[in-house]
A and B are shown apart, each in its own frame.
Chain A
């Protein structure tokens, strides 16, 4: 078989295996469906910035309209969410998911971590932010003070700066925004330590992420592979081992290696037989 044909066959096999075995996109950040037709995939989503710092000197407006520097709020592990307050899409389900997880996780809000929600819509006012905070704090059924979950607003340049620092890419479409749904965990020094995707979260993961953020440990990429192997079963409320997915990947991977070896090794001929 000509050598270039072998390369193409190997490439094809590799592509096939990667495409079949790649993780489901169900839990990775997806833009809201509305008006997504004219948006390129690279314009909206998450570019993970693990191990990088967010600009702590950034000054935003708090719920009373006062200036507040992020440095003064991020003095403990912090869960950062980026939303806008008039959002009719995934923001509310996401923040409900956050409140629900705060109720269920063993990590104590306030004592062990703080949540900061920053609006990337410059039209959001401190007044709306305050009402949002009141709403969501009511959802929490454990001791919580208004200082434990902050809702901040700012001008568009400032919020964009923060979003860029965590790789959060959003796009304005008319009156609304297309944006991913994700949480960022920050260490007390503003280090990005973990991303959590989707709108519901595993309480155990949450607690783990808070502890890691406290220690300033960045989740290595391997975690993505673990994510691939374990998925959260929402009805059973537990993390499940994806037996089928692991087995499928192993089988396809092994078969691909087998095929590539056969293709490259070529036919047995008297020449290579003698060599053997």
Chain B
């Protein structure tokens, strides 16, 4: 492109296509990011609706609102949508796409067409998942984990649902390959790995996990489909197969997937905290290294999902130990984040509030994870609401709140508009109260013995369920307020400056919204990423 791009930003730019096609056929990483954002938030609200109905069902101990089979379909739908269509692509797809090339001083990702293709895989997979709901013998009822042998025997439309997840895996893998190549090949001159900001570091670790773990899921899901179609017997004990093998293969992907979800979130937090404390990040190398350590150890802990599945005692002890070990790099991050704030010039803006909430909620999620890693306790907690509470603290309280924080942080850059701080604070209040009301209650219910995925509950759990359901209403109110205020800001917000938060990483050196090619001239980097002028003055 020979035209000067400084004039037209990526939102206004009209290339060969205009209007909707200008978005659907654009290989600009920023437009692809917005495509992801819009589609993912849409899916997120679909998942929220399913969650809302499930909570409503639990408002009474024995209820007639929906049938038990529908309830099974609902939690499967909720899980599949939230995991495969929201948290796994998560910050990676939206902010990785939008921010990664700019923050490392590149004009685009390494393979822009592949990038757009990844989004089409994503949307294709999502459409197949939706199709699975309305065709065949009813929506899948296995839970998002598709455990064999039930997933093989279930008469519902499991094959199509599984195929959707298979297609979505390709989107994830291709994005991983794209980002790894981008980070290796397209960093600005002078930006060595250790002069690279921490968000790309996190994306780098995540991408390797996507490349290595997702094929395992693909193989597993293909085997389930073959099992259902041809009865090959790999997971069917009646034919000499092994259902525990399914669990191993499934979690060999799906546990690393938890880190695929959380690592980019941690990367975003590592960007937000220095900016809002106007202070260089504490322990840069420790945080960068801990991302790699989390990716490494996180790939070796999968069988802690299976302590009650009949593994050997040695296997249990080994995986329990490794689970404890993986908490160490996570804790390294948390302590370094807190140390970054210490003696910083803290500017308490909405992104920081959400980032701090992330640290608080993720810490609860992480610590309850360590509990479950302890063998004896896990036997008691397995398959209870405690697990449900725990993983919502990690995925929603962790990744979800980091997603909100990152959205608030980079929103002015992405759309060139400012949102209402008041709305963001009020939304936070409802989100935080609603979240803890819903999920902390679940932790307590789990400790009391409420099993997960049950359609009905015994009267002794009733109070907890009522509190959780009311919590879900407050939470949803917060969500509507949050996204509503942002949507309003996209169209009616005040114009944002190039650097409203006084950040020092490269994305703040380009206009808001960025021009099509990001930089008129590729910047040269000579120092580490978090050098704040005010700090130097001190």
Residues of A close to B215: CB separation below 8 A: 247, 251
- For the complex formed, measure the closest distance between the CB of A239 and the CB atoms of chain B, giving whole angstroms: 12
Complexed CA–CA distance, A40 and B180 (Å): 43
Given A233-B240, A236-B240, A252-B212; A243-B219 close (CB under 8 Å)? yes
Residues of B close to A145: CB separation below 8 A: none
Tell me if B130 counts as interface (CB < 8 A to partner A).
Answer: no
Tell me if B189 counts as interface (CB < 8 A to partner A).
Answer: yes
Q: Are B211 and A255 in contact (CB under 8 A)?
A: yes
Q: Are B180 and A262 in contact (CB under 8 A)?
A: yes
Cβ 8 A contact of B234, one of A243, A247, A251, A258? A243
- Chain B residue total in the interface (Cβ 8 A): 21
Cβ 8 A contact of A262, one of B184, B192, B223, B234? B184
Given A244-B249, A247-B216; A267-B180 close (CB under 8 Å)? no
Complexed CA–CA distance, A117 and B219 (Å): 45
Residues of B close to A268: CB separation below 8 A: 185-186
Per-residue contact bits, chain B 160-195, to A (CB 8 Å; 1 contact, 0 not): 000000000000000001001100111101001100
Given A243-B234, A258-B177; A267-B216 close (CB under 8 Å)? no
Across the interface, name the chain B residue whose C-beta is closest to A262: B184
Q: Are B240 and A267 in contact (CB under 8 A)?
A: no
Residues of A close to B192: CB separation below 8 A: 1
Across the interface, name the chain B residue whose C-beta is closest to A240: B240
Tell me if A235 counts as interface (CB < 8 A to partner B).
Answer: yes
- For the complex formed, measure the closest distance between the CB of A156 and the CB atoms of chain B, giving whole angstroms: 40
Given A236-B240, A244-B219; A258-B249 close (CB under 8 Å)? no
Residues of B close to A262: CB separation below 8 A: 180-181, 184-185
- Chain A residue total in the interface (Cβ 8 A): 20
Across the interface, name the chain A residue whose C-beta is closest to B249: A244
Cβ 8 A contact of A265, one of B180, B185, B189, B245? B185
- For the complex formed, measure the closest distance between the CB of A257 and the CB atoms of chain B, giving whole angstroms: 12
Per-residue contact bits, chain B 210-232, to A (CB 8 Å; 1 contact, 0 not): 01100110010001000000000
Complexed CA–CA distance, A262 and B111 (Å): 14
Q: Are A243 and B223 in contact (CB under 8 A)?
A: yes
Given A236-B240, A268-B186; A258-B216 close (CB under 8 Å)? no
Residues of A close to B234: CB separation below 8 A: 243
Tell me if A269 counts as interface (CB < 8 A to partner B).
Answer: yes
> What DSSP secondary structure best describes chain B's contact surface?
helix
Residues of A close to B177: CB separation below 8 A: 258
Within 8 A of B (CB), among A219-276: 233, 235-236, 243-244, 247-248, 251-252, 255, 258, 262-263, 265-270
Residues of B close to A236: CB separation below 8 A: 240
Residues of B close to A258: CB separation below 8 A: 177, 180, 211
Residues of A close to B211: CB separation below 8 A: 255, 258
Residues of B close to A270: CB separation below 8 A: 189
Q: Are B185 and A267 in contact (CB under 8 A)?
A: yes
Residues of B close to A265: CB separation below 8 A: 184-185
Across the interface, name the chain B residue whose C-beta is closest to A263: B184
- For the complex formed, measure the closest distance between the CB of B105 and the CB atoms of chain A, giving whole angstroms: 11
Complexed CA–CA distance, A266 and B187 (Å): 10
Given A243-B223, A267-B187; A251-B216 close (CB under 8 Å)? yes
Complexed CA–CA distance, A243 and B193 (Å): 37
Q: Are B184 and A267 in contact (CB under 8 A)?
A: yes
Cβ 8 A contact of A235, one of B223, B240, B245? B240
Given A243-B234, A267-B185, A268-B185; A255-B212 close (CB under 8 Å)? yes
Residues of A close to B212: CB separation below 8 A: 251-252, 255
Complexed CA–CA distance, A229 and B509 (Å): 54
Complexed CA–CA distance, A267 and B186 (Å): 6
Complexed CA–CA distance, A251 and B185 (Å): 22
Across the interface, name the chain A residue whose C-beta is closest to B186: A268
- Additional pairs, 12, CB under 8 Å, beyond known A262-B185, A268-B186, A270-B189: A1-B192, A235-B240, A236-B240, A243-B219, A243-B223, A247-B215, A247-B219, A255-B212, A262-B180, A262-B181, A262-B184, A266-B184
Please name 21 pairs of A and B residues whose Cβ atoms are closer than 8 Å in the assembled complex, sorted by A: A1-B192, A1-B193, A236-B240, A243-B219, A243-B223, A244-B219, A244-B249, A247-B216, A247-B219, A248-B216, A251-B215, A252-B212, A255-B212, A258-B177, A258-B211, A262-B181, A262-B185, A265-B185, A266-B185, A267-B186, A270-B189
